[in-house]
Structure 1
Amino acid sequence: MPKKRPVAIALAGALCLVTAACADSTDETGDKASAAAATSGYPVTLDNCGVSEKFTKAPSRVVTMNGASVAEVSTLLALGLGDSIAANQQTYGMSEVAGRADAIKALPNGDVKLNDAYDIPREAMIGLRPDLVLSTTSYGFDEKNGFATREQLKDVGANTYVSPQGCDQDTSKMTIADSYRLLRDLGKIFNVSDKAEQLIADSEKNIAAVSGKVEGEKKPKVMVLFSNMTMGGNDFSSVVAKGIYNDILTKAGGSNAFESASKTSFADLSKEKVAATDVDALVVIGYNDPDPAAYAKKLLKEFPQWPAAKNNTYVALSDSMYLGPSNDLAVEKIAKALHPDKF
């Protein structure tokens, strides 16, 4: 049985409101400060989960909460904003992007004592003196969980931001578009919108090229799950049912074999249910697992009746399969495994 990890609870919730962003306008004249702000793109106001967040300059002491995610820290690094991070608690230990895992590892962590959810408790958060706190879901600002609330952080001069689809912790409707929304929002907050738009355009171009090659092909049934992770009572409780994963699969020319197994993002399945399902390919996501490929190979041996086992069809992925700036890499890797004759 996989080892049960406390962060699994956060992972299940971490991934429904899409945030909207707009720049405030100013028509004051003769005020040099206002003119400078207008030239720099500030002030910027985001309506984030029903909370209005106003930015008058680029944040310089950013704290990224764990949330069993690397979406926020990876997006900051992709935008060239690593120097603005005062404390980071996000890590997968691996990445499809060369150098990213090492770059994340090198970031300061704030030297704080984490709580049972491996995240930053209220007093420690206040002590970090942040000017922006990023959380994958509203869980990270829930006082019942021992975290600083958005109101408490505002009182000490910190803006806060909950990533797209994280407002009510229901991530079942998340798509690649939410990764783009995160890029755009952080681009506006830090006045690097041009960089954000370029990253989005490059991703869209890559995905369109891959999807074009597999268009019209039969869609293999894919099982997506996190390696060596338990989130429920059955043998297979980290199986993906809905969310951004399905959008990635669709664009790669595949389909989720267990999409109907749950109304939420994850399914909690028995070994018998898994064995009785035809699985054409495996996508195993490594979350702080140094060898998700080994887990994939173990499953293929455990279920030799699967077409996936007979054809040895699997993909081991990490951060590209999740909310973040690199979904196009997951689309490409999965498409090549599902439709090798098209590449």
Structure 2
Amino acid sequence: MPMNRPAAAALAATLCLLTAACGSPPADQAGENGDHGADGTRTEAADAAGRTGYPVTLENCGQKQTFEKAPSRVVVMNGASVAEVSTLLALGLGDRIVANQQSYGRSEVPGRAAAIKALPTGDIKLNEAYDIPREAMLGLRPDLVLSVSRYGFDEKNGFATRDQLKQVGANSYISPQGCDDDPARMTVADSYRLLRDMGRIFDVGDRAEKLIAASEKKIAAVSDKVKAKAEGNGKMAGTPRGRKPPQVMVLFSNMAMGGNDFSSVVSKGIVNDILAKAGGANAFESASRTTFADLSKEKVAATDVDALVVIGYNDPNPAAYAKKLLKEFPQWPAAENNTYVTLSDSMYLGPSNDLAVRKVAEMLHPDAL
């Protein structure tokens, strides 16, 4: 069934977890090896990996946030994300969370969905955006509030502002690429930036670097195998190396966010980086300048789709939705070969993108892995 309008609006407005730009230079210009991250975050004083000791100062989306010690009362806002809560759990920081509003109900990581469900929620009466209003937030007495984007600190929407939080001794943090509402440029590197920033804030930089290194190694192994197989096939067939990669449709299951039949098709963002690393490409990348393409059934039917990635957002059976689509469009190569995979949090900003790369690559190039 379609997502109800308030939830869909919140998802569409704050899906910076997929791709949102902060008006900052790309990661290859000022990213992992420099003083500035892709989200405009800068760490002052000892920016080296695995740094220890306080104070730690971050410049995050135009505001300096100084941490005298590791936060112990963390509030995680909804924002239609699980990136922030999953990152904290991956770093072993779940015991610092006093209220969490993030949940997809599913995860590629065994035990993660249950671990998120077990976290305290703060017993908050949420607003229409399914998030924490100002007075309730201040009543939680946080020392750190995490938001996917600026939206979570917008006074016009009834949220506590960053200045108001600072007045009561709480720092705030906007996740990578969440400074502006231009969901188009996020990559896997932003997931690593979130890990690194949380590592610095909580003085667990060594844990963050180990997670990043492991993810990079796994993704590189998959990408190298897919590339080697593709080059080998090209040589044997006498075709050039630059053959068109499999065209993949990525969309949310049973969700309506626009006026057309297919309004939850992902066009831009971190999913495209994941697809590329897995040896595929987004079949609808040119269909929109923003994260989502709002498409007619005719447009979808006229596009060659080699494979489906169906993202389950609190949907208990996304596979049923995938099978329904394949039946509806029998002309697709994906339908002829029954080629689909269902995923959840690994397709988003967060600590588990390597799982999505592997699962998509296994679907697209099973003989390479």
Which band: TM-score by shorter chain? over 0.9
Q: TM-score, normalised by structure 2?
A: 0.87
Task: From 68, 74, 80, give the equivalent of 2:86.
Answer: 74
Q: TM-score, normalised by structure 1?
A: 0.94
State the Cα deviation string for residues 188-235 of structure 1 (Å, max 9, x = none): 000000000000000000000000011163510000001111111111
After superposition, where does 1:22-41 map in structure 2 within 5 Å?
A: 22-24=43-45, 40-41=52-53
Task: From 182, 198, 218, give the equivalent of 1:206.
Answer: 218
Q: Matched residue of 1:205: which SS?
A: helix
State yes or no: 1:194 paired with 2:206.
Answer: yes
User: In the aligned structure 2, how far is the partner of 1:57 from the partner of 1:171?
Assistant: 33
State the match for 1:31 in structure 2.
none
State yes or no: 1:230 paired with 2:251.
Answer: no
Q: Matched residue of 1:167: which SS?
A: coil
Q: Matched residue of 1:237: which SS?
A: strand
State the Cα deviation string for residues 134-190 of structure 1 (Å, max 9, x = none): 001111001111111101111111000000000012221000000000000000000
State the Cα deviation string for residues 56-114 of structure 1 (Å, max 9, x = none): 10000000000000000000000000000000000010100000000000000000100
State the match for 2:233 in structure 1.
none
User: In the aligned structure 1, how far is the partner of 2:139 from the partner of 2:355?
Assistant: 38
Task: From 176, 179, 196, give the equivalent of 1:167.
Answer: 179
User: In the aligned structure 2, how far is the partner of 1:2 from the partner of 1:112?
Assistant: 25
State yes or no: 1:337 paired with 2:363.
Answer: yes
State the match for 1:252 in structure 2.
278
State the match for 1:316 in structure 2.
342
In structure 1, stretches of 5+ residues that fail to align are: 26-38
State the match for 1:30 in structure 2.
none
User: In the aligned structure 2, how far is the partner of 1:115 from the partner of 1:297?
Assistant: 35
**Counterpart amino acid of residue 326 in structure 1:** S
Q: Matched residue of 1:282: which SS?
A: strand
Deviation, 1:2, is 2.9
State the match for 1:49 in structure 2.
61
Q: Matched residue of 1:300: which SS?
A: helix
Deviation, 1:281, is 0.3
State the match for 1:183 in structure 2.
195
Task: From 276, 288, 307, give the equivalent of 2:302.
Answer: 276
Instruction: Rate the CA distance shift 1:342–1:5 in 2: closer, same or farther, 3 A.
Output: farther
User: In the aligned structure 1, how far is the partner of 2:146 from the partner of 2:271?
Assistant: 22
State the Cα deviation string for residues 120-144 of structure 1 (Å, max 9, x = none): 0011000010000000111100111
User: In the aligned structure 2, how far is the partner of 1:317 from the partner of 1:135?
Assistant: 23
**Counterpart amino acid of residue 157 in structure 2:** N
Q: Check conservation: 1:23, 1:41, Cα contact below 8 A.
A: no
Q: Matched residue of 2:367: which SS?
A: helix
User: In the aligned structure 1, how far is the partner of 2:178 from the partner of 2:275?
Assistant: 21
State the match for 1:33 in structure 2.
none
Q: Check conservation: 2:250, 2:311, Cα contact below 8 A.
A: yes
State the Cα deviation string for residues 261-299 of structure 1 (Å, max 9, x = none): 000111000111001100000000011111111111111
User: In the aligned structure 2, how far is the partner of 1:182 from the partner of 1:246?
Assistant: 19
User: In the aligned structure 2, how far is the partner of 1:124 from the partner of 1:132?
Assistant: 15
**Counterpart amino acid of residue 8 in structure 2:** A
Deviation, 1:5, is 4.3
User: In the aligned structure 2, how far is the partner of 1:85 from the partner of 1:206?
Assistant: 29
**Counterpart amino acid of residue 265 in structure 1:** T
State the match for 2:119 in structure 1.
107
State the match for 1:305 in structure 2.
331
In structure 2, stretches of 5+ residues that fail to align are: 23-38, 231-242
User: In the aligned structure 2, how far is the partner of 1:279 from the partner of 1:4?
Assistant: 28
State the match for 1:130 in structure 2.
142
State yes or no: 1:20 paired with 2:24.
Answer: no
User: In the aligned structure 2, how far is the partner of 1:289 from the partner of 1:273?
Assistant: 25
Q: Check conservation: 1:226, 1:284, Cα contact below 8 A.
A: yes
Q: Matched residue of 1:178: which SS?
A: helix
User: In the aligned structure 1, how far is the partner of 2:213 from the partner of 2:107?
Assistant: 21
State the match for 1:88 in structure 2.
100
**Counterpart amino acid of residue 203 in structure 2:** N
Q: Check conservation: 1:7, 1:67, Cα contact below 8 A.
A: no
Q: Check conservation: 1:61, 1:130, Cα contact below 8 A.
A: yes
State the match for 1:261 in structure 2.
287
User: In the aligned structure 2, how far is the partner of 1:313 from the partner of 1:292?
Assistant: 14
User: In the aligned structure 1, how far is the partner of 2:162 from the partner of 2:309?
Assistant: 36
Deviation, 1:4, is 3.5
Identity of aligned residues (%): 76
